[in-house]
Amino acid sequence: MKKALIAASIVGVAAAGVILYLTRSRNGMQRLLDGAESTADDARRVANRHLRKTQKKINHMIHESTME
């Protein structure tokens, strides 16, 4: 149990150090936010493309079913 508490403390101190470093270094935090923004934008584009393809498939299926 004592080893687990020591390990958790080390991990917590390391995480706090990273957070402090990124907040003090404006460029580091800005790069982190820019990366998150870029990833979110890519995910939005993929979701929109998937939605458009799905809508086309549904419309095609409806059109085929009404023709019969």
Q: Structure tokens of 62? A: 């409806």
* φ, ψ dihedrals at 25, nearest 5°: -90, 95
Q: Which domain holds residue 40?
A: 2-67
Q: How many domains does the chain have?
A: 1
- pLDDT for the residue 68: 62
Confidence band, pLDDT 50/70/90 cuts, at residue 64: confident
Q: Which residue has the higher pLDDT, 53 or 23?
A: 53
Taking the C-alpha atoms of residue 66 and residue 18, their distance in angstroms, rounded to an integer, is 60
* Secondary structure (DSSP) of 25-60: SHHHHHHHHHHHHHHHHHHHHHHHHHHHHHHHHHHH
pLDDT (0 to 100) of residue 36: 84
| Distance of alpha carbon 49 from alpha carbon 4, whole angstroms | 47
The per-residue pLDDT for range 24-58, each reduced to its tens digit, is: 766 766 777 778 888 888 898 899 888 888 988 88
